Amino acid sequence: MRWRAGETDSRTDTTFLLFSGCVYGNECDVVASKCEHSSVLLKGLQSSMMSEGSSFMKGMILGGIFCLVMAFFETFNSGTHSEGREHLHHHLKPVSKDELQKLSESQMSDWTLQVRVYCLIMVTPKLLVHWATANDTWSKHCDKSVFYTSESSKALEAIDLQEQDEWARLRKAIKHAYENAGDLRWFFVARPTTYAIIENLKYLVLDKDPSQPFYIGHTEKSGELDYVEYDSGIVLSYEAMRRLIEIFKDEDRCPERGHALWKTPEEKQLATCLKYTGVFAENGEDAQGKGLFNKKSVSSLISDSMGQNPADVVEACCSDMAITFGGMSPSQIQVLMYGVYRLRPYGHDFHDSLTFLPPNDSDND
Amino acid sequence: MTFDCQSLSVSKLNSNILIAENRRAALEFSQKVRVLCWVMTQPKHLKSRTQHVRATWGKRCNIVLYMSSEASDFPTVGLNVSEGRSQLYWKTIRAFQHIHTHHLDHADWFLKADDDTFVVLENLRYGLSKHNAEEPLYFGRRFTPFVAQGYMSGGAGYVLSKEALRRFVKGFADGLCTHNTETEDVGLGKCMETMKVQLGDSRDVLGRQTFHPYPPDYYLPRQTPRLRPWYLLYEHYQPVEGPGCCSDLAISFHYIDAVQMHTLEYYSYHLRPYGYKYRFKLTTLLSKKLMTLALETQCKTRKALVNPDFGCHSFTEERTSVCLIVMRLRIDGKRSFPNLRVMNDYY
């Protein structure tokens, strides 16, 4: 365990240190220490008071508690360290309309070729119905979509990674995707319970260079760690993937199987590993600042908006260019598919700078 | 819009004409195809249902009237009836009489909807644009039983032409139609039959329905082939389950609660896939060859080939002639254009 006093945010850490270090000693000498060292330190502080064995025992017990508490906070803070500098771009927006209009034809076609997406969809046998729905709906709009499963199952057509642990499975899928990317430079990771509008994902990353590291989605904070929420989909550029593959080799910083007593969710493990390579989570939002990645369903968001903004429900709710929604049933997803790609009022046309054609052999878009 | 035949090019045609077409048409539509909407509601629904109609599609009608048993500041029109299922046909009769008295010349078409119906007005106008409001016509979701020629589902909403409205009111005035049922849609259908009003076909050119008596999740999810479920038993036309059920340019859905009302508003008017070229559109399906032929004919003859028998009535000459040429080719053109697939056009 590496921990530097004074560099941790958690007030409780400091309190415990002070408590442990100051109760028995005359000086509250705070130094960098490993867990064992802290017990020794405490014992040392008490050496002057070792007249009775009970003091020694108290010291040991206190040191032991201290050690456990440190380990506890260690896993929550995910080993943040002084190398992390403040990242400047936490919010990521699509290219503006003005910028798009300035582009030449050739630049536009370059960008169209560059912005192609490999979808990694992580399934398990119990999600069979959602697998079928994703397979029949939004995944058809990825330039390449691959389903990865924990174990094989009848009717489930997916690459069997033969791995029950979620984090280990995600690592394997990422490796497989990177090796089979061909000339695709953007990667989208989601579970089949998420619905994605790939065209809007492309629009978001259109002017971003995939040879730069990008890690985008709906960001949340856990202590000092900014991570992208899994439920609303994770976007990674080619460079971010490359760096991930590299750090996967580092068993200390980015272990395949965690050493903690409890499991850290894979979304946070991913964020931690990426942070070691200098890649930070960015929140995808539209020009007005509305989040593009949602883990809630459309009806849930509309319902929330009806409570909070009754005068302007739809305007306040969700972006026109939303990318993901979560927690929707298969029939709701099929209705959403119709709502996105088909249902529209006659006469409302848009002069978009890019063109995305409907996929072949599909009848629901 | 004038046509310069010298500097014609097909690529320009696709983008310029059809987009300008749609924009102008959409604007023209609201002036040329005037729709008066009346929403069947009641005092206790104003807050839970009707306000959401008002917040979403109500404002897109040329005129919208909320018909209730009581007048109010909502604003609602008070009809001289009481509330309750048994009174629905009386409400309908009184509502149309009120409209006939006060608004006959303010609109061309008269839509009846419920306070839990969601309507896409632009698509309604588009569908109606091909028809003449002075003819006795009525459109909606066609049901078979109870009336010999069939009738239109009340919940999905139905539209009467101006002439149809005149005949309905006259029917009651002359005693040819009476209040003989509680079921308003059946009652109205019977009167339409008596007054010789024709039932229109509101399906799109691919045979997909536009008016829907139930929410979209009843129709869209894929099903294994099965016997008609109960909610499709009254259908006049062979129902299709799965994506082929419903037109892209759908007009209505019913049994829509408040959350779904705003959800459908979001889907129709807001949420969209950037840059996506919709699958069903004239430009993608009409080959360049045909477009060129259409234009050449237009330019050579200097006039549109308007033939009512071909069923291509539209606003503008250019579009009519393209449509007519397509139709003619469809019938006798297989020799000239052997690679021609079925022409799915929206015009």
DSSP state of B16: I
Alpha-carbon gap, residue B46 to B41, rounded angstroms: 7
How far apart (Å, rounded) are the C-alpha atoms in residues A186 and B149?
A: 58
Q: Which two tokens stand for residue B256?
A: 């829509």
Q: Which of A225, A346, A202, A229 is nearest to A275 (CA)?
A: A225
Select from B244, B22, B262, B255 the least CA-distant residue to B126.
B22
Give the residue from chain A lying closest to B251, CA to CA: A345
Residue A51: per-residue pLDDT: 55
Report yes or no: A166 at the B interface, CB cutoff 8 Å: no
pLDDT classification of A102: cutoffs 50, 70, 90: confident
The answer to whether residue A332 neighbours chain B at the CB level (below 8 Å) is yes
The type of residue at B319 is: R
For residue A3, what pLDDT is reported? 33
Q: Check: CB of residue B250 under 8 Å from CB of residue B213.
A: no
Long-range residue pairs from B44-48, CB within 8 A, at least 24 positions apart, any chain: B45/B115, B46/B72, B46/B74, B46/B76, B48/B258
The answer to whether residue A78 scores a pLDDT higher than 90 is no
Secondary structure percentages of chain B, helix, strand, coil, to 5: 45, 15, 45
One-letter amino acid at A13 equals D
3-state secondary structure A279-348: CCCEEEECCCCCECECCCCHHHHHHHHHHHCCCCHHHHHCCCCCCEECCCCHHHHHHHHHHHHCCCCCCC
Q: How far apart, in whole angstroms, are the C-alpha atoms of residue A160 and residue A105?
A: 43
Rounded to whole angstroms, the Cα distance separating B160 from B143 reads: 16
A179 φ, ψ (degrees, to nearest 5): -70, -25
Q: Looking at residues A157-162, what average pLDDT do you find? A: 94
What's the per-residue H, E or C state across B233-263? CCECCCCCCCHHHECCCCCEEECCCHHHHHH
Q: Which among B263, B280, B319 is the top mutation candidate for probing chain A, defined by the most A β-carbons within 10 Å of its own β-carbon?
A: B263
For the record, the structure tokens of B199 come out as: 């039932």
Report which of residues A101 and A163 the model is more confident about. A163
Longest dimension (CA), chain A: 91
Per-residue pLDDT tens for B107-126? 999 999 999 999 999 999 99
Query: Is this complex's ipTM strictly greater than 0.90?
Result: no
Confidence at residue A257, expressed as pLDDT on a 0 to 100 scale: 85
Residue B28 has a pLDDT of 73
- Report yes or no: B258 at the A interface, CB cutoff 8 Å: yes
Per-residue pLDDT at A54 = 72
- Assigned fold of A91-342: Spore Coat Polysaccharide Biosynthesis Protein SpsA; Chain A (3.90.550)
Residue-level pLDDT at A59: 74
Which of A51-60, A165-174, B291-300 shows the highest mean pLDDT?
Answer: A165-174
Q: What is the average pLDDT across A246-252?
A: 94
Please provide the average confidence, as pLDDT, over all residues in chain A: 82
Please indicate if any CB of chain A lies within 8 Å of the CB of B94.
Answer: no
Averaged over A238-244, what is the pLDDT?
Answer: 97
B275 and A197 within 8 Å at the Cβ level: the answer is: no
Q: How far apart are CA A287 and CA A273, in angstroms?
A: 30
The pLDDT of residue B281 is: 67
Residues of B in contact with A305 (CB under 8 A): 262
User: How far is residue B157's CA from residue A26's CA, in Å, rounded to a whole number?
Assistant: 85
What's phi and psi for A333, nearest 5 deg?
-65, -40
Tokens of A329: 């049933």
Can you give the pLDDT at residue B26?
A: 64
Structure tokens belonging to residue B21: 């077409």
Q: d(Cα A92, Cα A272) in Å, to the nearest integer? A: 20
The confidence score (pLDDT) of residue B35 equals: 97
Q: Could you tell me which residues are beta bridge partners of residue A91?
A: A283
Pairing between β-strand A195-196 and β-strand A324-325 as defined by DSSP bridges:
antiparallel
Q: Is B231 on the interface with A (CB under 8 A)?
A: no
Do B100 and B169 meet the contact criterion of CB atoms below 8 Å apart? Answer: yes
Residue ranges of chain B whose pLDDT lies below 50? 1-21, 282-289, 302-322, 324-347
pLDDT digits (tens, 9 = 90+) for A300-349: 999 999 999 999 999 999 999 999 999 999 999 999 999 999 999 988 87
For residue A298, which residues of chain B lie inside 8 Å, CB to CB?
263, 266-267
B19 touches chain A (CB under 8 A): yes
Highest-scoring range by mean pLDDT, A48-52, A78-82, A128-132, B339-343: A128-132
Tokens of A212: 């730069």
How confident is the model at residue A74, as a pLDDT?
Answer: 54
Q: Is A338 on the interface with B (CB under 8 A)?
A: yes
Tokens 């069997």 sit on residue: A160
pLDDT tens digits for B45-79? 999 999 999 999 999 999 999 999 999 999 999 99
pLDDT given for residue B23 in this prediction: 54
Mean pLDDT value across residues A17-27: 34
Query: Which residues from chain B sit within 8 angstroms of residue A313, using beta carbons?
Result: 55, 262
Residue B100 backbone phi and psi in degrees, to 5: -60, -40
- The CATH label, of 2.60.40, 3.90.550, 1.10.1200, 3.30.2020, for the domain at B13-273 is 3.90.550
Interface of B with A in 274-333 (CB under 8 A): 274-280
Residue B37 near residue B50, CB atoms below 8 Å: no
Separation of first and last alpha carbons in chain A: 53
**Residue A343 is nearest to which of B126, B248, B275, comparing CB atoms?**
B248
Q: State the CB neighbour count (10 A cutoff) for residue B240.
A: 16
Q: Are strands A215-217 and A282-284 parallel, antiparallel or unpaired?
A: parallel
State residue A269's pLDDT score: 95
pLDDT at site A70 = 67
* C-alpha span between B69 and B71 (Å, rounded): 7
> Cβ of A355 and B122 within 8 Å?
no
Predicted pLDDT at A262 = 73
Asked if B249 lies within 8 A of A346 by C-beta distance, the reply is yes
Provide the pLDDT for residue B79.
94
Contacts of residue B207 in chain A, CB cutoff 8 Å?
Answer: none
> Within a 13 Å sphere around the CA of B165, how many CA atoms are in the beta-carbon half?
29
CB-neighbour burial class of residue A361 (10 A; exposed 0-12, middle 13-18, buried 19+) = exposed
Q: What type of residue sits at position A268?
A: K
- The confidence band for A53, taking pLDDT boundaries of 50, 70 and 90, is low
Which of B74, B233, B248 is CA-nearest to residue B146?
B233
